[in-house]
Amino acid sequence: MSSSMLDLLSFAVFIFFVQRLWIHFTVHRRFPLPPGPKGWPIIGNLFDLPKEKAYFTNRHTALTDSDLLYFNAAGTSMLILNSAEVANDLLVGRWKMYSDRPPLPMAYLAGVDFSFALLSYGDNWRKHRSLLKRELSPLHLPAYQKPQLQESMIKFLHNLLETPQQFESHVHLLFGGTLLSSAYGLSIEDPGDYYLMLVKEAMRAIGEVMIPGTYIVDIFPVLRYLPAWLPGVSFKKKAAQERVFIDGMIHETMSFVKKDMKNGMAKSSIASRQLQKMHDEGTWSEEEETVLRNLLASLYGAGTDTTAATTMNIILGFLLNPDSLKKGQAAVDAALGFDRLPNYGDEGKIPYVDAVVMEALRWQPVVPLSMNLLTIENADIYGGHYIPANTIVLENTWAILHDPATYGEDVDQFRPGRFLNPDGTLNNAVPYPSAAFGYGRRTCPGKSYAQSALWLTVASLLSCFDFSKPVNEKGEEIHLSVDYIDGLITHPSTFECIIRPRSKVVERLIRQKREQQVLS
**Which window, 150-158, 367-375, 422-430, 468-476, contacts ligand HEM (CB under 6 A)?**
367-375
> Among residues 72 and 370, whose Cβ is nearest to ligand HEM?
370
Burial code of 294-308, b = ≥16 C-beta within 10 A, e = fewer? bbbbbbbbbbbbbbb
Q: Looking at the DSSP assignment, which residues form a beta bridge with residue 76?
A: 73
Question: Are the C-beta atoms of 387 and 79 separated by less than 8 Å?
Answer: yes
Q: Restricting to residues 169-198, which ones interact with ligand HEM according to CB under 6 A?
A: none
Q: Applying CB under 6 A, does 492 fall inside the site for ligand HEM?
A: no
Distance of CA 500 to the CA centre of its chain: 30
Examine residue 269 and tell whether it contacts ligand HEM (CB under 6 A): no
**Is 444 annotated as contributing to ligand binding?**
yes
Q: Does 146 bind ligand HEM (CB under 6 A)?
A: no
Task: Indicate the helix (H) or strand (E) that contains 395.
Answer: strand 392-395
**Site residues (CB under 6 A) for ligand HEM, limited to 430-449:** 436-439, 442-446, 449
β-partners of residue 374 are 100, 392
CA 497/CA 485 separation, integer angstroms: 19
Sheet holding 68-73, edge to edge: 68-73, 76-81, 392-395, 373-374
Decide: 168 and 482 in contact? Cβ < 8 Å. Answer: no
Rule CB under 6 A: choose which of 116, 156, 167, 467 binds ligand HEM. 116
Are the C-beta atoms of 70 and 34 separated by less than 8 Å?
yes
Please check whether residue 100 is in contact with residue 392, taking contact to mean a CB–CB distance below 8 angstroms: no
Segment contacting ligand HEM by CB under 6 A, of 43-51, 217-225, 363-371, 512-520: 363-371
Judged by beta carbon, residue 223 or residue 436, the one nearer ligand HEM is: 436
Asked if residue 370 binds ligand HEM (CB under 6 A), the reply is: yes
Q: Measuring CA to CA, which residue among 312, 320, 308, 306 is closest to residue 412?
A: 320
Interface region with ligand HEM, contact rule CB under 6 A, candidates 146-154, 156-164, 273-281, 295-303: 295-303
**Does 306 sit near ligand HEM (CB under 6 A)?**
yes
By the rule CB under 6 A, 114 interacts with ligand HEM: no
Alpha-carbon distances of 265 from 14, 280, 454, rounded to whole Å: 66, 18, 31
With CB under 6 A as the contact rule, the residue among 83, 253, 298, 391 that binds ligand HEM is: 298
Please report whether residue 452 would count as binding ligand HEM according to CB under 6 A: no
Count CB atoms within 10 A of the CB of residue 84: 20
366 is an interface residue for ligand HEM by CB under 6 A: yes
- State which of residues 27, 117, 411, 482 lies at the interface with ligand HEM (CB under 6 A): 117
Sorted by sequence, the CB contacts under 8 Å of residue 417 that are 6+ apart come out as 324, 327, 355
Q: Quick one: which of 69, 302, 315, 394 contacts ligand HEM (CB under 6 A)? A: 302
Q: Which of 81, 87, 297, 450 binds ligand HEM (CB under 6 A)?
A: 450
Q: What minimum distance in Å lies between the beta carbon of 358 and ligand HEM?
A: 11
Amino acid at 64: T
Give the one residue of 152, 159, 310, 463 binding ligand HEM; rule: CB under 6 A.
310
**Interface contacts to ligand HEM, rule CB under 6 A:** 116-117, 136, 298-299, 302-303, 306-307, 310, 366-367, 370-371, 436-439, 442-446, 449-450
